[in-house]
Structure 1
Amino acid sequence: MSEYEVSGTVNTDGSWTQHSVVRETHSGGSIDFEPEVKAGSSFCMRLRNALNGEIFSDEVCWSTDEYECKTLATDVIAGTRFTIDARGTDEQTRFSGKLFTA
């Protein structure tokens, strides 16, 4: 499993922010995220296919006191290239954490 340090900013109005860093899975499996800093009391992420721009995961959110690792996508095939979309609330703009890929 690969581990990436992830950080970024989101819009203050709660709309989705698309991030441009492309990551790639090395084997089939899941993609998980564990936040360290969340952009607001309801911070959400989803994944986008880097090749065609299609969203391929459900929206996954963390509330005020949640910091546990959550699965963003399962059954992802090896070699999947993806980017992150994120959004926050409460006018918080910065997030960071660890992304785990198969």
Structure 2
Amino acid sequence: MVCDVCSAMFAHEYLSVVSRWARQQLRTEVQSSVDRRRLRQLIEAADALSADMRLPAVKEVPENVVRLSDYRPKSRAPKRPAHDKMIQFLDT
């Protein structure tokens, strides 16, 4: 399972690099319409394969994961103007 995830991550990164390279080539160095068409096909194929390889979202949280949102305050105290804070500070 771990090796499958590693190879999928590598392939996803590789496809991302190929897509970026093809986009750069398309912007800067393409002279002919044939090369332009091939690069567009390469970009579309790399993006489609990359989208197919995305790992599904994990619905259940593993036991060893602590979500920071569980400890974040639900609502913040209303903000007070700076002069009110200064008066309170001087009064204490």
The TM-score range, normalised by the shorter chain, is under 0.3
Higher strand share: 1
Higher helix share: 2
TM-score by length of 1: 0.15
